[in-house]
Amino acid sequence: MDRFSSNRDDFTEQFSLIWDQIKAPLIVPLLKIAVFLCLTMSVMLFIERVYMAIVITLVKFFGKKPEKRYKWDPLKDDLELGNSAYPMVLVQIPMYNEKEVYQLSIGAACGLSWPSDRIIIQVLDDSTDPIIKNLVEMECQRWASKGINIKYEIRDNRNGYKSGALKQGLKHSYVKECDFVAIFDADFQPEPDFLWRTVPFLVHNP
């Protein structure tokens, strides 16, 4: 037992001696490097904040405000051109088994305020459930009977999923006459004046 304690004490002393020998030449330089890196990063963060503060201040005082940089004027009626003075807008609604929201989304799109002969509602139905697909088609027919220019489109595959449906929808011949495309996911209901607030900005700022 005494021999074991003696060996352990000898090992501890040897380890202490080794530690004392490597502590100064190894640990201290590493600590100095770490401190230097921390200070460097702190200075960089400080410079970045000062730079951003200067940029924000300059933009605030000398930069043009959005209402001055861009034109926001609403579109005006033209007695000679009539409704053709307004751009043709395609509204795409990609769907996939949207049983809970298909009526709301189609209704919101059909409720958009815009000249009726200058808008096309395109419902892109990738539903695999035949019951839901039939419901969506019937909803489109219901709005079509009210005079809404709505197209119900399906395809024989789901390549690309919703993005693939959007791409396929743009290949129809009637889309060629459209100037702008608005895309609404099936669970999104735009406000009725959405097009009046967005299309003029796009027209005046090409």
Domain ranges for the chain, please list them. Answer: 1-63, 82-204
> 63-102 pLDDT, tens per residue?
766 667 778 788 888 777 788 889 999 999 999 999 899 9
Cα 112-116-122 angle, rounded to 5 deg: 65
Q: Which CATH architecture has domain 82-204?
A: Alpha-Beta Complex (3.90)
102, 150 in Cβ contact below 8 A?
A: no
Location of structure tokens 């003075």: 85
How many Cβ atoms are within 10 Å of 41's Cβ, its own excluded? 10
Rounded to 5 degrees, φ, ψ at 67 are: -70, -15
The tens digit of pLDDT for each residue in 118-165 reads 999 999 999 999 999 999 999 999 999 999 999 999 998 889 999 999
What is the pTM for the complete model shown?
0.67
Is 87 in contact with 57 (CB distance < 8 Å)?
Answer: no
| Cα–Cα nearest to 90, from 6, 7, 196, 180 | 180
Beginning with the edge strand found earlier in the chain, give each strand of the sheet holding 89-95 in spatial order: 150-153, 119-125, 89-95, 180-183
